[in-house]
Amino acid sequence: MLPPVDTRSVLALRAEILARNAALASSVAPAPAPKFETAMRDALHAVSAVQDSAGAASAAYERGATQDLASVMIARQKASIAFEATLQVRNRLLGAYKDVMSMPL
């Protein structure tokens, strides 16, 4: 058989939980929602950085500063894949824009 439940202790525990919850909610500020413009700009900068890195690796190989052809080819391939991914995103966005513009009002 279970012991009887003390209502006052349950209510005190509930009040303590609510107080801790309020303290946690006030101490944690919500993160701002990421903006589409910021996300696109950051992605384009990342692709540009990969392409710049590949260009620098190619230039270093052409000057004879490095003999590691494999790393140069890998850098070029990374740049190519990043560009293709960016192109696909652009195509999808353009398609979505055309779909929205062709919707009747």
Q: What is the pLDDT of residues 7-40, one digit of tens each?
A: 788 888 888 888 888 888 777 666 777 788 898 9
Token readout for 87 is: 């192109």
Q: What is the pTM of this model?
A: 0.62
- Estimate to the nearest angstrom the gap between the alpha carbon of 37 and the chain centroid: 13
Per DSSP, the three-state class of 4 is: coil
Q: Where are the beta strands (DSSP E) in the chain?
A: none
Task: Count the residues in the chain.
Answer: 105
Q: What is the pLDDT of residues 53-103, one digit of tens each?
A: 999 999 999 999 989 999 999 999 999 999 999 999 999 999 999 999 999
Token readout for 31 is: 């993160």
The reported pLDDT for the residue numbered 25 is: 76
- Estimate to the nearest angstrom the gap between the alpha carbon of 59 and the chain centroid: 31
